[in-house]
Structure 1
Amino acid sequence: MLKKFLMAGLVAGTTFAFAGQALAHGDVTPQAVDTSGLPKLGEEWEETNPFREDGKYKARAVEIGSSAYNQNCARCHGLQAISGGIAPDLRYLEADYEGDEWFIERVTNGAVRDGKVYMPKFVGTISQEGLWAIRTYIDEQPED
């Protein structure tokens, strides 16, 4: 009887231990992004997304942005930018200057309320090219 009780306890303990791992957000530290194939944009921030227009770099920006978004943003903003309610649904971010201005503000400063970090700063870990690639990927997600 004691053996069955101990075995049941071991199984339950193991289940709870792995369940905690499955429900964890994982590493919330911004992960660097390989931007090979995109032009260097320099130190000063572009005011609007330089990869938004169809052209030589848009497809590469979307490809890089997809990977970078999934590594850095999806855990809170949802796969394909479809929010599950934790953070804003980025599909509704305007694809113009105003949306770009909000995007720059958030990736530069993060989001902190009452001393709690809701979104980390990404500048300094992810280059301007990588962040604009994420923005380009978000712009490509359908709203419906």
Structure 2
Amino acid sequence: MFRTRSRHRLLIAGALLIGAACPGAAWAHGDVTPQAVDTTGLPKLGDAWRAENPFRKNDAAVKIGTSAYNQNCARCHGLEAISGGIAPDLRKLDNECATLKDEKKKAACVKEIDEYFASTVRKGRTRNGAVYMPPFEGMMNQEAVWSIKAYLETRREKPL
């Protein structure tokens, strides 16, 4: 019993120390100011949002998406898309699709994940009134959003 309480107190003390040393880490879902993404060099996609990532395997988009991810997403989703537990690990976003053998089902799955990703980035996520992810609509154009997705596709845990 004593050891369990001592461990619990040590864990709390450690968390408090980390929070004091790096206050942003403890409250990573607090105020997040979106950073502008320079999408110069990418084709303009227009106002109508695409249902699928038009920048898949586009090297220029991956480069822009890497920078955009680091500026806007890494603080919650982790460096190189490796989550530290605060937010979902985005390397696993397409895992379910990767296990599908039927190519038509796999393509439909990837499209569905693309739509989910774009919707989540644009509208954010809330639960019981708490903001789990801020909305980026109006802050990032679709070129920026799809370039981030193109980068994340290079970080997949299970390649398609």
Shift of 1:133: 0.3
| RMSD of aligned residue pairs (Cα, Å) | 2.0
Q: Is the 8 A contact 2:93 2:156 kept in 1?
A: no
Residue 114 of structure 2 is aligned to residue 110 of structure 1? no
Residue 53 of structure 2 is aligned to residue 49 of structure 1? yes
Q: What is residue 60 of structure 1 aligned with on the other side?
A: 60
Give the TM-score normalised by structure 2. 0.71
One-letter code aligned to 1:116: A
Q: What is residue 101 of structure 1 aligned with on the other side?
A: 115
Distance (Å, rounded) in 1 between the aligned partners of 2:55 and 2:74? 21
> Which structure has the bigger radius of gyration?
1
Residue segments in structure 2 that go unaligned for 5+ positions in a row: 1-18, 98-109
One-letter code aligned to 1:69: Y
Shift of 1:28: 0.9
Shift of 1:108: 1.7
Q: Is the 8 A contact 1:77 1:86 kept in 2?
A: yes
Distance (Å, rounded) in 2 between the aligned partners of 1:59 and 1:43? 23
- How many residues are paired up? 123
Q: Is the 8 A contact 2:45 2:142 kept in 1?
A: yes
Distance (Å, rounded) in 1 between the aligned partners of 2:115 and 2:156? 21
Distance (Å, rounded) in 2 between the aligned partners of 1:86 and 1:43? 32
Residue 82 of structure 2 is aligned to residue 85 of structure 1? no
Shift of 1:21: 6.7
Shift of 1:29: 1.7
Residue segments in structure 1 that go unaligned for 5+ positions in a row: 1-18
Shift of 1:22: 3.0
